[in-house]
Amino acid sequence: MKLFIQKNKKRIVITLGIIALNIAYGFDARFTIINLLWLLF
């Protein structure tokens, strides 16, 4: 688990940021999909 976190730390932080923004400003599907696609590729 520790190795996974170290290896994917940037992705985890970005994902948490996306979730936090969705909670703070209301869910925006387009924003979320664009960011998740950017994160995966």
Q: How many CA atoms lie within 13 A of 21 on its CB side?
A: 12
Predicted local confidence at residue 40, as pLDDT:
75
Q: How many domains does the chain have?
A: 1
Q: Residue for token digits 């290896």?
A: 7
- pTM comes to 0.61
Percent with pLDDT over 70 in the chain: 100
Burial grade of 20 (CB within 10 A; 0-12, 13-18, 19 or more): exposed
* Domain span holding position 22: 2-40
